[in-house]
Amino acid sequence: MSTPTTDPSLRSRLDPTGWSLSSKLVAAVVGLFLVITVSTSTFTVLSLRDHLVDQMDQDVTSLLARAGGPRGSGPGGGGGGGPIPGGGGESLLVVLRDGEVVANRVEYDRTSGELTAAQLTSLRGDDLGASPRTVEIEGLGEYRVAAARDADGDRVVVAGLPMSGISRILDAVLGLVVSTTIVGLALVTLGGQWLIRRGLQPLHRVAQTATQVSRLRLDSGDVALAQRVPVADTDPRTEVGQVGLALNNLLDNVEGALRSRHESETRVRQFVADASHELRTPLASIRGYAELSRRETDPVPPTVAHALTRVESESLRMQGLVEDLLLLARLDAGRPLDREPVDLTLLAMDVVSDAHAASSSHRFELDLPDEPVEVTGDRARLHQVVANLLANARTHTPAGTRVVTSLRREEQWVRLSVVDDGPGVPEELQENVFDRFTRGDESRNRAQGSTGLGLSIVAAVATSHGGRVELTSSPGRTEFSVLLPA
C-alpha cells in the first residue's frame, strides 16, 4: 500500500515558524477572535436553551395543574371529549387509570387528535414524575412531559408540551451566531491585516535601512554611511522607535570605526609609499658601490669579495621588494593605470619565453586560441601579472613540473590561467593565498626566496582593471586564473 506524500511547499507554507511577523499577528488576532466568539456564543446559546426549557417546564407544570385539579375535573371526566383545559396551542394530555388509558388528546400543527398506541408507549415509563423530562415521541418529536395524580388519587394525568418551538428559536439564534461570526471573522481578518501592516510600517522602514547598509562595501576605502532610520521612527517611547534609535547609534559607531580605520590605512599606505620611494635611492647607491668595488683591479680577500657579492644580491632583492610595495601603495591609492589595447596572446608568449630562459628545469607550455585576444589595460602591469604567476609556479613547484599558460574567452570575460601539476596549495592556505606576505609552507617548498607579495600584486592589478582572481588547487593540479573584462 502506498503512503501518501505531502507537498513540501505546502508543508512549508503551513509551518508557522516560517510565517512573517504580520502573518503571525493576524493569525493570533483571528484565533483569539474565534476562541472568544465561539466561547461566548456557546455560553449564550446554552444559557438561552436552559432559560427556555425552564419556562417550558413552568408551562408544563401549569398545564398539569389545570388538567388534574383538586376538583377532579379534566378530560377523564368526559371520556376524553372536549378541548384540553388551558389549551389553545400545541400540547398533549393523557389520563391513566390503573395503567389503562382512559383519555388522551394531542394538539399538533393546529389539529387535534389522539395519540397512537406506539406513541402512548413512550408515556408509560416509570421515570415520569412531577419534574418535567424530555421524551421522544414517535412522529411528534421531543416533548417536555410531567405526570401527577389528580385530586381524587385514582388517576394519573400526563401533560406535555413540544420542544419544537425551542428548537426553532435555537436554530435561528445559531444561524444568527454563525452568520455574524463569519462576517466578524472577515472584518477582523481584513481590518487586522490593515492595522497590523500599518503598525509595522516603521519596522519595515528600519529593516530597509539595515538592508541598504548591509549591501554597502565596508571592507575597504572611505566608507560613508549616509543611511539612517528616519527621526519619526526613533521615538524611544515605542518599541520600534527603540530599535530604530539603537540602529542609528550602531551606524554612528560603525561609521566612526570605519573612518578611523580608513585614516589609519591611509597613513600606513602613505608611509609605505614614502618609505619605498625614499629607499630606492640608497638601495641603488648600495648596489652601485657593490658593483664598483667588485670591479676594482686591486686584489681583495675572498671573504670580502663574497661579502660584496651578497650585498649586491640582497640589495637587488630589497630593491624588488621596495618596487612591489610602492606598486601596491599606488594601486591602493587608486592611481590611474594606462588604458590601451593590449594583445594578451603576444604578451603571454613573451613572458613564457622569459620563463624558459629563467628556469630550464620546468616545462613551460602555451595553450592559446587561434585568434589574438585583446583587452584594454596597462601593458606593463599585465606583463607583471603573468610574470608573477609563472614565477610563483616556478618557485613553489619541484623541477620537472609542467606549467601551462592558457587564454580563452568566456562571454564578457577573458580568462588567463596558469596551471601546474605540482603538489598543490595547502587547503588552509588557499583562502588567504592572495593576501600580502602570504607564503607557502613545506607543502610548496621554496626553491628561491619569496617576499609573499607576488600574488597580492596579481590580485591588486586584476581588481584595478575591473577583474578578479580565482584559485582551484588539489594535489596534482593547481590553477591560478585572472579574469579581465573583454
pLDDT tens per residue across span 274-325: 666 666 677 777 777 677 777 767 776 777 777 777 777 777 777 667 776 7
333-358: average pLDDT: 84
**Average per-residue pLDDT in the chain?**
79
447-463: average pLDDT: 74
Which of 125-129, 346-350, 453-457, 465-469 has the weakest average pLDDT? 125-129
Rg over CA atoms, the chain: 50
* DSSP 8-state code for residue 233: G
| In the predicted structure, residue 445 carries a pLDDT above the cut 50 | no
Bigger pLDDT: 111 vs 341: 341
Length of the chain: 486
Highest mean pLDDT among 127-136, 145-154, 214-223, 384-393: 384-393
Measured in whole angstroms, the distance separating CA 96 from the mean position of its chain's CA atoms is 79
Instruction: Please report the DSSP string for 294-329 in residue order.
Output: HT-SS---HHHHHHHHHHHHHHHHHHHHHHHHHHHH
Please give the pLDDT value at position 179. 92
402-426: average pLDDT: 89
414-442: average pLDDT: 80
pLDDT tier, 183 (very low <50, low <70, confident <90, very high otherwise): very high
pTM of the shown model: 0.49
Please give the pLDDT value at position 288. 75
| In the predicted structure, residue 84 carries a pLDDT above the cut 80 | no
Bigger pLDDT: 431 vs 450: 431
Q: Which domains, ranges and CATH numbers included, belong to the chain? A: 23-66+87-214 (no CATH), 224-335 (1.10.287), 340-441+450-485 (3.30.565.10)
51-70: average pLDDT: 82
Please give the pLDDT value at position 216. 73
Bridge-based pairing of strands 402-410 and 363-367 is parallel
| In the predicted structure, residue 30 carries a pLDDT above the cut 70 | yes
Please give the pLDDT value at position 36. 92
Alpha carbons 380 and 464: distance in angstroms, whole number: 13
Q: Provide the β-strand partners of residue 6.
A: none
Please give the pLDDT value at position 52. 92
Please give the pLDDT value at position 4. 53
For residue 470, how many other CB atoms are within 10 A of its CB?
Answer: 13
Taking the C-alpha atoms of 259, 263, 264 and 269 in order, what is their torsion angle to the nearest 10 degrees? 140
For residue 169, how many other CB atoms are within 10 A of its CB?
Answer: 14
Bigger pLDDT: 222 vs 142: 142
Q: Provide the β-strand partners of residue 144.
A: 134, 161
Residue of 317, 314, 305, 311 lying closest to 289 (CA atoms):
311
Alpha carbons 401 and 361: distance in angstroms, whole number: 8
Bigger pLDDT: 250 vs 126: 250
pLDDT tier, 455 (very low <50, low <70, confident <90, very high otherwise): confident
145-151: average pLDDT: 82
Please give the pLDDT value at position 9. 59
Bigger pLDDT: 402 vs 88: 402
Percent of the chain having pLDDT more than 90? 10
| Long-range Cβ contact pairs of 235-243 (< 8 A, separation 24 or more) | 238/202, 240/202, 240/203, 240/206, 241/202, 243/203, 243/206
Q: Decide if 125 contacts 103 (C-beta within 8 A).
A: no
| In the predicted structure, residue 6 carries a pLDDT above the cut 60 | no
| In the predicted structure, residue 85 carries a pLDDT above the cut 60 | no
258-282: average pLDDT: 71
Residue of 333, 363, 368, 331 lying closest to 348 (CA atoms):
368
Q: Decide if 353 contacts 392 (C-beta within 8 A).
A: no
